[in-house]
Amino acid sequence: MKTMFHLASAVFLSLSVNAKGADLVEMSVPVPPVYDEPQIGLWEGPYVGIHVGYGWTQGIFGTCVCGSDDEDFLGGRIGAFAGRNWTVSSGYVVGVEADVNYDWNKRPLYGARVGTGFSGSARVRAGYAFGDVLLYAAGGSTATNAYVKDPDDSEVAHGWTIGLGIDWAATNSTFIRMEYRYNNFSPVYLAGLRSDFDQDVISIGIANRF
């Protein structure tokens, strides 16, 4: 009886040691790491959008003989824009952008109608992202079609533009924008009259990133 008891004890201890050894072997096997796919930054990539806004255009018209006349042109704006962003480091974003617009801001002057119509710009942007909000500054070149009616004449005025804005990511691919921009144009001659234009614009827009 004692022999059987000792034999059973030996078998039990052997099974216990083997089971613990198997557990140790199983626990020591390294588990291969699982790598997540890298995610594209919230502001990274190309985008296209549309915007609407309101512009305040000041025109200075005159000659060195007759003096000059300052006039303000107020009106709405509609346009489209496209660009691309790059995330250069944590939070910092740079990009390029172009837009085309149409302004309704004509008014009577000296018995004629003077105003600007189509315009466009090409700009570089730099900003900083706070999660789903991007604050940015932008600047570059711009041009607008300045015209006079009765008599009919038009010239393309070139200039520079600077602005500040904020983009808010409503979803991973759609953002909403609010922007202020200042445009300064070189002088042109409309119907023989020197004409200087500058413009302040406030706009809101929506864009889709892809």
Which residues does 43 contact at the CB level (< 8 Å), separation at least 6? 85, 87, 93, 129, 134, 167, 169, 209
Q: What structural domains and CATH numbers belong to the chain?
A: 45-209 (2.40.160.20)
Q: Give yes or no for residue 14 having a pLDDT over 90.
A: no
Between 15 and 159, the higher pLDDT residue: 159
pLDDT digits 0-9 by tens, 21-44: 444 444 455 555 544 433 457 899
Helix (H/G/I), strand (E/B), else coil: 171:
coil
Is residue 109 within 8 Å of residue 61, measured between CB atoms? Answer: yes
Query: Cα(102)–Cα(78) distance, rounded to whole angstroms?
Result: 6
Tell me: pLDDT of 17 over 60.
no
Contact 190, 153 (CB under 8 A): yes
Q: What is the pTM of this model?
A: 0.77
Write the pLDDT tens digit of every residue in 94-108: 999 999 999 998 888
CA atoms of 20 and 5, how far apart (whole Å): 23
